[in-house]
Structure 1
């Protein structure tokens, strides 16, 4: 249970920012005793890998806070974030953390299971993030992008910490996530209906 919570939390974090949970795992594994990555994922703590991930993080950090560029970045990240989510779930769930004593047991039925689970969770989070950003940019004219992006980065960091240090806390986070996605979908549907109604009204005026 704890292993699944750890992997799920890291995958959700990757859906908001692909690089934060990967850097988080690499740093904790290399410099602390909180995480011990298995051999399969030990490359995450390599110095060169972490340096590259930091550079990618800085680039995304900048692009995600500029209106228009943030939308382009979300399109590019549609592939990257789910991939990072699969890696984060696999590495986090199979690692030995301070709260997980036998994490390998739940993946004995197939190494692909945690990867697929991470991809799905990260993709769902990414879709919710991208959809929410569209609404925020539309309502604010793009001025909300820096604030919303900073909040997403902070959330990604916080969820990563919880996933490793307090996995059970991820359960209410996932519940809130599901509620948030439902509310977002309702908001997007309402926004789309309003646009269609406006377009229909405009057509009727010119007929």
Structure 2
């Protein structure tokens, strides 16, 4: 059961940033004893894989903090983040970690359903983020993009580490993060409607 929670949390992190959980489990497997990837996922700790993911992460960290570009990036990431979620769910839930010593056999028997489940999980925070960001940019004249992106990156990194060490706590944090994203979206939409109604009233007078 814990391996499923680990995979779910890693997929949630991928919904915020596609590359942080991929790079995280690759580095943890390569340089520590905290993660032992199964043979089919050993490529994640390969020098080339880590290098490519690192470069993509650097680009994401920059682009996601620039107003307008962040929204374009979110459109492109609609494919990338769910795919990353599927990968990290499959890899994470079939790996030995600090909390999971014997991953369930069904996870390793077929990669299709774990991948699909991870993609669906990652899609939830991705969509919440993609819809909320343009609203936030309008309300803050773009000033909120960098702050919001930095907090999302920090959340993705924290979820990645907790998923490996304390899966249950990581799950609680992931649920709390989803709730916060929903509340941010609702507040943003409410503020946008309020601004539009005030502007309409001002025009009428």
TM-score (norm 1): 0.88
Residue 11 of structure 1 is matched in structure 2 by 11
Gap change, CA 1:37 and 1:109, over 3 Å in 2: closer
Give the distance between the partners of 1:73 and 1:18, measured in 2 at CA: 12
Residue 136 of structure 1 is matched in structure 2 by 136
Give the distance between the partners of 1:149 and 1:182, measured in 2 at CA: 16
Give the distance between the partners of 2:34 and 2:108, measured in 1 at CA: 23
CA contact (8 A) 1:131 1:188 kept: no
Where do 1:56-71 residues align within 5 Å?
Answer: 56-71=56-71
Deviation of residue 190 (structure 1)? 3.5
Give the distance between the partners of 2:51 and 2:178, measured in 1 at CA: 34
CA contact (8 A) 2:163 2:171 kept: no
- Secondary structure at the residue paired with 2:66? coil
- Secondary structure at the residue paired with 2:104? helix
TM-score (norm 2): 0.89
Deviation of residue 202 (structure 1)? 9.2
Moved more, 99-108 or 140-149: 99-108
Deviation of residue 4 (structure 1)? 1.1
Give the distance between the partners of 2:186 and 2:149, measured in 1 at CA: 22
What CA RMSD, in Å, does the superposition of the two structures yield over aligned residues? 2.2
CA contact (8 A) 1:15 1:82 kept: yes
- Secondary structure at the residue paired with 1:114? helix
Q: Can you list the C-alpha shifts for 1:150-170, whole angstroms capped at 9, x where unaligned?
A: 111111100100000111112
Equivalent residues, number? 205
Divergent runs of 4+, >4 A:
191-203
Moved more, 189-198 or 102-111: 189-198
CA contact (8 A) 1:71 1:130 kept: yes
Give the distance between the partners of 2:180 and 2:150, measured in 1 at CA: 18
Structure 1 stretches lacking a partner, 5+ long: none
Gap change, CA 1:167 and 1:78, over 3 Å in 2: same
Residue 34 of structure 2 is matched in structure 1 by 34
Deviation of residue 27 (structure 1)? 0.6
- Secondary structure at the residue paired with 2:23? helix
2:50 equivalent to 1:50: yes
Give the distance between the partners of 2:177 and 2:131, measured in 1 at CA: 14
Give the distance between the partners of 2:108 and 2:51, measured in 1 at CA: 32
Give the distance between the partners of 2:39 and 2:202, measured in 1 at CA: 62
Q: Can you list the C-alpha shifts for 1:11-38, whole angstroms capped at 9, x where unaligned?
A: 0111111011001111111111110111
